[in-house]
Amino acid sequence: KNRGKGGRWLANGLLLSTGEKWRQRRKMLTPSFHFKILEDCMDCMSRSWRNVVGVFLASEGQPVDPLPIMGAGALNIICESAMGTVLDENDDRSKEYVAAVKRASRDSIRRVLNPLIRNDFMFDLTPLSKSHAKDLEILHGFTGEVIKERKAAFAEEKLYEQYSDADGKKRQVFLDSLLELAKKENLNELDIREEVDTFMFAGQIRRLRLCNT
C-alpha cells in the first residue's frame, strides 16, 4: 500500500481515512469539538504562550530559532488541553517529539514530491526510510505514553478530580471522550492512537505554518 502522504505516521485516522470509515469517525468525533471546550482551554493556552514569550524576551535581542520554542509551547497546549497530560518544561521527550515532527513532516513532503519513492517498496530501499522509521518510533512512542497515562487515570477514577477548572467544575478533554467512545464503538488501541496522532500532528503543523508566514 502506498503511504507516501503520511500514512505510516497517521495510519487511517480522520485526516487520511476515506469512505465509510471517514464518515463514521467524523460523526463519532465531532461532538468532542465545540466552543465550550475552547473556552475551558483559555487558561492553559495563555499560560503556555506567556512562557513562550518569556523565552523570546530572555534572548535579549540575540537571534533564536523560533521553531523548537513555539513547537514546545504548542505541544504543551495540546497535551494539557486535549490529552489531559501536563508536560515538564525540561522533559526531553517533548523536545524529541517536536524535532521528530519536523523531520517526519519534511520526509512526507519529499515522498509526495518525488514519484520514485512514493511507493513503500521503493521508499524502503532508501536510507531515508531508516531515519524516518526512527522518527516514527519517537512519535508513536510519545503518543502511546500519553494514552497509557490517561487510561490509567481514567481507570482509577481520578480523571475529573485531577483536571478541574478554577470554579471546581469537572472538565473533560478530547482524549477522555475518545476513551469513552472506544468502549461504545469497540475501538482498539490502534484506532485510538490514530486519532491522537492526527490531533497532535494538526497542532504541530499549524505551528510550522505560523512560523513560516
118 domain-assigned: yes
Tell me which of 164 and 194 has the higher pLDDT. 194
164 three-class SS? strand
Structurally, how many domains does the chain consist of?
1
Per-residue pLDDT of 130-176, as tens digits, reads 999 999 999 999 999 999 988 887 777 555 555 555 455 556 678 88
DSSP state of 170: B
DSSP state of 81: I
Q: Are 102 and 208 in contact (CB under 8 A)?
A: yes
113 domain-assigned: yes
Q: Are 101 and 71 in contact (CB under 8 A)?
A: yes
2 domain-assigned: no
98 domain-assigned: yes
1 domain-assigned: no
Q: How far apart are CA 62 and CA 16, in angstroms?
A: 41
70 domain-assigned: yes
Q: Which domain holds residue 81?
A: 7-211
Q: What is the pTM of this model?
A: 0.77
Confidence of residue 2 (pLDDT cuts 50, 70, 90): very low
